[in-house]
């Protein structure tokens, strides 16, 4: 069961971090033991909350982990191109401002958004084969809350200034 919940948490984490620009906002934990401890605490809390609030049977846990892993992987395949487009857009806006290239970028971004929307629809259909509609809504709510929690780690400090532009690593917390 620990292995299934761990896989489930990783899949949900990938999805949560993918929404918005969570990975780019949060920051790599590097060698900071305080941040590493915070990462483990957040992961453990999320895993516990997911298991508790969705009230899943053992079969549902396994099936849900499979569904979330499949779609997290599919979304992760789109993420590098989305990031590259974001970089290209910033460079274009700061540089030559070519109207032709801007139009190409808009079309590529639209294609990625459509692919993401298709994935979301497919994932929801598969989730409804495993979970009740209420459980699916609760899962989506938990994802949103988790994503906000992760993004808040990269929020500007109280005195102002921008957060570091690094990445947040996730690993399965042992012993759950």
Between CA 35 and CA 166 the distance in angstroms is 13
Q: Which two tokens stand for residue 26?
A: 């949060």
- Which residues have CB under 8 Å from 10's CB, separation 6+? 69, 72, 170, 172
- Residue labelled with tokens 């990783």: 10
pLDDT in tens, 41-92: 876 787 678 878 999 888 888 888 888 889 888 989 999 999 999 999 999 9
Residue 173 has pLDDT above 50, yes or no: no
**Extents of the domains making up the chain:** 2-153
Give the whole-angstrom CA distance, residue 110 versus residue 126: 24
Q: Is the pLDDT of residue 174 over 50?
A: no
pLDDT tens, residue by residue, 102-143 = 999 999 999 999 999 999 999 999 999 999 999 999 999 998
Q: How far is Cα 94 from Cα 159, in angstroms, rounded to an integer? A: 28
Helical H segments across the chain, by residue range:
2-18, 22-26, 33-54, 58-94, 99-130, 133-153
């Amino acid at each position: 069961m620990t292995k299934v919940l761990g896989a489930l948490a990783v899949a949900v984490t990938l999805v949560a971090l993918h929404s918005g620009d969570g990975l780019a906002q949060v920051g790599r934990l590097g060698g900071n033991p305080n941040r590493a401890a915070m990462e483990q605490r957040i992961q453990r809390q999320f895993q516990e909350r997911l298991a508790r609030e969705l009230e899943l049977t053992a079969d549902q846990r396994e099936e849900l982990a499979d569904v979330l892993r499949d779609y997290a992987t599919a979304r992760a395949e789109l993420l590098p191109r989305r990031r590259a487009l974001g970089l290209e857009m910033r460079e274009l806006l700061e540089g030559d401002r070519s109207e032709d290239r801007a139009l190409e970028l808009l079309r590529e971004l639209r294609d990625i958004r459509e692919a993401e929307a298709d994935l979301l629809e497919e994932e929801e259909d598969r989730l409804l084969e495993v979970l009740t509609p209420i459980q699916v809504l609760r899962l989506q709510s938990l994802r949103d809350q988790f994503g906000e929690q992760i993004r808040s780690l990269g929020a500007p400090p109280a005195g102002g200034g921008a957060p570091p532009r690094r990445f947040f690593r996730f690993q399965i917390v042992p012993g759950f």
